[in-house]
């Protein structure tokens, strides 16, 4: 129950932050703070996760439920603090701006992301995906956050995921 509430609060916070960022970049006319949509623009909800991602999310959640909260599609800038000023800070933030991790494992006490999971379509992955993973792994290494890559095409058990993610009770 607490995990569901924490996950819901986390998703709401992420959506609110995303909305605020979007509002900054939308062209505003002077004196008009309301975003107006074109009448022909059709907006409708879409799933946050694909079927394979949702299945893996549920397995990960079961594997780490006693250790972490699991959040999906988390932007890097929301959990990596940039310890620099001026141009250096803005350069790093621009680099992080549109990069997201597929799943973030958050310690419920410290509220810090301690482990991230990146997903690949197949065992070898695509060139673009491999480059993205490499860039994110470099950032995670610098921040001291563990990173794991999983394939959405592979079959995992809860026990195997617990081992892969380092929360296997026999290892503790």
Instruction: Provide the whole-model pTM.
Output: 0.71
Q: Work out the burial of residue 106: count CB atoms within 10 Å of its CB; fewer than 13 is exposed, 13-18 middle, 19 or more buried.
A: buried
Q: Percentage of residues in the chain with pLDDT exceeding 70?
A: 78
Count of Cβ atoms closer than 10 Å to residue 135 Cβ: 14
Please tell me the predicted confidence (pLDDT) of residue 67: 96
Sign of CA dihedral 91, 92, 95, 97: negative
Alpha-carbon distances, residue 106 vs 30, 97, 153 (angstroms): 41, 20, 25
Distance CA 154, CA 131 (A): 21
* Nearest in space to 112 (alpha carbons), one of 141, 142, 78: 78
In this prediction, residue 70 carries a pLDDT of: 97
Say whether pLDDT at 76 is over 60: yes
The residue whose two tokens read 């379509």 is 121
Tokens of 85: 């000023």
Residue 13 clears pLDDT 80, i.e. is over it: no
Q: Does residue 172 have a pLDDT over 50?
A: no
Q: Note whether 64 and 165 are within 8 A (CB).
A: yes
Report the distance separating Cα 74 and Cα 88, nearest Å. Answer: 23
Question: 35-44, 61-70, 135-144, 154-163: which range is least confident on average?
Answer: 35-44
Say which DSSP state 123 is in: S
Q: Rounded to whole angstroms, how far apart are CA atoms 131 and 142?
A: 17
87-133 confidence digits (pLDDT tens):
998 988 888 888 999 999 999 999 999 999 999 875 444 666 788 89
């Amino acid at each position: 129950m607490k995990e569901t509430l924490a996950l819901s609060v986390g998703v709401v916070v992420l959506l609110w932050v995303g909305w605020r960022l979007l509002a900054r970049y939308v062209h505003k006319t002077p004196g008009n703070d309301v975003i107006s949509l074109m009448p022909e623009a059709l907006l409708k909800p879409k799933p946050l996760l694909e079927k394979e991602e949702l299945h893996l999310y549920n397995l990960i959640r079961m594997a780490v439920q006693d250790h972490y909260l699991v959040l999906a599609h988390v932007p890097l800038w929301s959990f990596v603090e940039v310890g620099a000023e001026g141009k250096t800070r803005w350069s790093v933030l621009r680099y992080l701006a549109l990069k997201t991790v597929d799943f973030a494992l958050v310690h419920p006490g410290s509220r810090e992301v301690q482990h991230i999971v990146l997903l690949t379509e197949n065992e070898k992955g695509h060139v673009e995906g491999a480059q993205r993973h490499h860039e994110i792994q470099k950032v995670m290494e610098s921040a001291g956050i563990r990173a794991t890559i999983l394939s959405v095409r592979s079959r995992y058990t809860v026990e195997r995921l617990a081992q892969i993610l380092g929360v296997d009770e026999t290892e503790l």
